[in-house]
Amino acid sequence: MRRGSPGVLNQRRMDRLIDGIELIAAVVGGVVAINIFLAVVLRRFFDTSIPDSYDFGRLMLGVLIFWGIAAASYRGSHITVDVLWSAVGPRFKRLIDIFATLVLLFVVVVHTLMLLDKVLVTYRDNVLTYDLNLPTWPMFAVAWLGDVSAVLLIAIRSWRLIFRPELLETSRGAQLAD
């Protein structure tokens, strides 16, 4: 493809989207770590606490998990069992990767639909935090958006595995060598 061709531009947009989703997961991870650190320091040395730090921490951890699933699923860096995969040739390795990614896509789509139901129930039931009585549904919604982004990234990975495997930044074989 030429440098200014639409395919290259679409590739760049997709890569920016992927990088943005990974950045969100990293920022949320940092916020969770800061919340835990501050809560421990305040409790240990000043005998006080941040209101709703426990609720905030557990809700942010849920957000982190779902946004992290999105990042790990696209990169193929989630936990795998490679006994069969390592014993076959390159063609079957690619078929196994495609099959596994499509199964993962199906599971995450179903999970995303179920999590949407949880968001709606939490909103409808007006579930609040303990100290400040803040609604919890917005955090559930942000976690759900992480699941939606996981569906999007797994769909992109599936498409690339099937039609454009050279576009995947790291191959599974390179990851195993690390």
Q: Residue 134 has what pLDDT?
A: 94
Q: Looking at the domain assignment, is residue 122 inside a domain? A: yes
Is residue 129 within 8 Å of residue 55, measured between CB atoms? yes
Number of domains observed in the structure of the chain: 1
Residue 173: predicted pLDDT: 45
User: In the chain, which residues have pLDDT < 70?
Assistant: 1-9, 76-81, 169-178
Does 1 reside within a domain? Answer: no
Is 62:56 a contact under the CB 8 Å cutoff?
A: no
SS3 93: helix
Instruction: For residue 69, tell me if it sits in a domain.
Output: yes
**Is residue 156 in a domain?**
yes
pLDDT value, residue 4:
53
Quote the pLDDT of residue 67: 86
Range of the domain at 93: 6-177
Q: In this predicted structure, what is the pLDDT of residue 174?
A: 42
